[in-house]
Amino acid sequence: MAAGPPPPLEPGALPTFPEEGFAEKFMRKTRENPMVPLGCLCTVGVLTYGIICFKKGNTRRSQLMMRARVLAQGFTFAALLGGMVATAIKSR
């Protein structure tokens, strides 16, 4: 007895997901892990202040801000990894 092709699926049988725009997705991801956008804002702020200090000739403060930028980037990366781990654990 040869099996034929499976019957076609009805349109109502498939799950439907609402379309999610950039703003909705950004807000959902921010609610899921608020530390990542906070780290990004901190990184941009420290970088901007460091560039301003560099342009004004305050090299000591500029170097300090570039080191602080590296710390802020590390915090952002750690928050990203922590969020991924939390999501993986939650899905189990």
Residue 86 is part of which domain span?
33-91
Residue 82 lies in a domain: yes
User: pLDDT tens for residues 18-31?
Assistant: 888 999 998 988 88
pLDDT on residue 5: 83
Residue 44 lies in a domain: yes
Residue 43 lies in a domain: yes
Residue 66 lies in a domain: yes
Confidence of residue 4 (pLDDT cuts 50, 70, 90): confident
Give the Å distances, CA to CA, from 67 to 1, 41, 62, 72, 90.
Answer: 73, 16, 9, 9, 35
User: pLDDT tens for residues 29-69?
Assistant: 888 889 999 999 999 999 999 999 999 999 999 999 999 99
Residue 21 lies in a domain: no
How many domains does the chain divide into?
1
pLDDT on residue 90: 85
